[in-house]
Amino acid sequence: MATEVSIPAMGESISSGILAAWHVQDGQYVEKDQVLYELETDKITSEANAEVAGVIKILITADEEVEIGQVVATIDETAAAPAASATVTDPANSSAAKPTTTESAPATVTHLSPAARKAAEETGVTVAEISGSGKDGRVTKGDILAAHKQATSSAIEAPTKAPAPVVSSESRETRKKMSPLRRKIAERLVTATQEAAMLTTFNEVDMSAVMQLRKKHQEQFVAQHGIKLGFMSFFTKAATHALQSIPAVNARIEGDHIVSQNYYDIGVAVGTDKGLMVPVIRDCEQKSFAQIESDIIGYAKAARAGKIQLNDLEGGVFTISNGGIYGSMLSTPIINYPQPAILGLHNITERAVVVNGEIVIRPMMYLALSYDHRLIDGKEAVTFLNTIKSAIEDPSRLLFGI
């Protein structure tokens, strides 16, 4: 009896994917619950396990596009499990583990004088390849030094310039089919630029207060929560506060309607080897700094390991993208449509700024807010960004909601 291995349903919006990799080989005996393959869709990457044990027959090769419900392999349940290998024995009782003396090895190799043995060790000459000139054909120190000199001379006389490699036109390019995730990212970016009247406003923020606060409480924070206090929890809290203060930014356009959102689920962009993912931190207004940091770390690990779930990526009202971790000084992020706005963070650099009439050195970061101008006016966008700036430069404001 053969059991079919088919692509499972993964959500209403997912109809196909790429069978990215097989973790087993054709004809291999697989155990129940063993990981069989990796499926990559436009939203997530997931693994599938064997429902039964048996010998697998693979019907679809890796990197092919497959439909939901398509049969990609069969497992023959009637096939017997392979017997344990007879070679798995105690090495002490195995004849293979016992060294034997080969007849082809010259007997003279083991009869070197101390001087000859030392010369062989210093020069690295293979004694077995030398014809000895000593008594009974023994290899002498002179034989070893002569062999070493000859080998050195041959290496010097060899041409030092290697021939130029022949480069074919085919080796100058590689062609690979775009993954579903990359295709989806491309579609969403194009949609955002075509559907939204996108505009970006900028500001800069002094990170001194946040950095001092982190330094002061980091050790106790780690001891109590088991995780580090990062910058993202501050910006997530600050963005939540700004969304509460300027409700126009916490909305979206659907047709000719404006839908106001009364919840604060904020997406945090995570870069992975397979593309950008934006897991959503739910109910940020109700969560502590530790809960937000824990969520961000958990989602980031899951996204990079390809274990992120579909519902983890849906339903956000606003996105924060931190290009600063890659060294970005300034950028104009593209909104995560249909969300109306996105906050771009950048690297922190020490710069000369004027504070109370004096020039001082402060750790500064540029902020960028891209927004849909159809929904958000310039005054609201600038006020929103200034609210975030004020909360970061004086984090105590977050405690009082001011």
Evaluated on CA atoms 114, 120, 126, 127, the torsion sign reads negative
Phi first, then psi: give them for residue 44, nearest 5 degrees: -140, 165
- Whole-angstrom distance, CA of residue 116 vs CA of residue 129: 14
Q: Choosing from 26, 63, 377, 394, which is the catalytic residue?
A: 377
Give the list of residues 6+ apart from residue 272 with CB closer than 8 angstroms, or none.
Answer: 303, 304, 306
Residue 386 belongs to what H/E stretch? helix 378-393
Q: Choosing from 23, 111, 148, 373, which is the catalytic residue?
A: 373
Residue 188 gets the label, from left (phi > 0), alpha (psi -120 to 50) or beta, of alpha
Q: Are 388 and 398 in contact (CB under 8 A)?
A: no
Closest CA to 300 of 329, 326, 280, 323: 280
Residue 373 among the catalytic residues: yes
Distances (CA, A) of 244 to 240, 387, 395: 6, 10, 16
CA 118 to chain centre: 52
- The residues pairing with 38 across neighbouring beta strands, listed in sequence order, are 21, 47
Instruction: Render 236-290 in DSSP notation, one character per residue.
Output: HHHHHHHHHH-GGGSEEEETTEEEE--S--EEE-EEETTEEE--EE--GGG--HH
Residue 225 among the catalytic residues: no
- Whole-angstrom distance, CA of residue 306 vs CA of residue 6: 20
Active-site residues, by number, are: 373, 377
